[in-house]
Amino acid sequence: MDSRKESSSIRKVIFDTDILIWYFRGDESAKAFLANFPFQSRTISSLTLMELIQGALSKAELRTIKKFIEENFSEVFHPNEAVSRRAIILLERYALSHCLTTVDALLAATVLVFKNKLATANAKHFRFIKGLEVISFVPASLG
């Protein structure tokens, strides 16, 4: 049986960009953290993919990023109208009081709308959002 096949019983985890940056920097704890989740549950937002692409310094790095995403994540979630509406509500509620950014609001909204969990090294950016399940990651160099 192919371990990459979709399973409706597996809860999805959307990985924040910060964890993948640590991964690409060679942080062994980021590699172990990612490996702790079955392929079927590992997902990212298209926003994360865009941030990684934007950070690429060459076409070779871009190819590496694209291959890494294809091999390590079962799905890429794209913002839809429901996500956009939820992100607007989050921004109205938390931008002034907690400095919530647009990208973080869209990421949190994606997690909430699709009823997933969020894996991030920046839990403080999200801890005030009710109903958001956060899995915290601490890089080896900061732990």
d(CA 74, CA 80): 19
d(CA 73, CA 39): 6
- Residue 77: CB atoms within 10 A of its CB come to 21
Q: Which residues pair with 77 in a beta bridge?
A: 45
Helix (H, G, I), strand (E, B) or coil at 46: helix
Q: CA 20 from chain center: how many Å?
A: 9
Give residue-wise pLDDT tens across range 10-68: 789 999 999 999 999 999 999 999 999 999 999 999 999 999 999 999 999 999 999 99
What domains does the chain contain, in order, with CATH numbers?
13-136 (3.40.50.1010)
d(CA 128, CA 131): 9
pTM above 0.85, yes or no: yes
| Of the candidates 54, 32, 61, 50, the residue with the CA atom closest to the CA atom of residue 119 | 32
Give residue-wise pLDDT tens across range 66-105: 999 999 999 999 999 999 999 999 999 999 999 999 999 9
Whether residue 109 has pLDDT greater than 70: yes
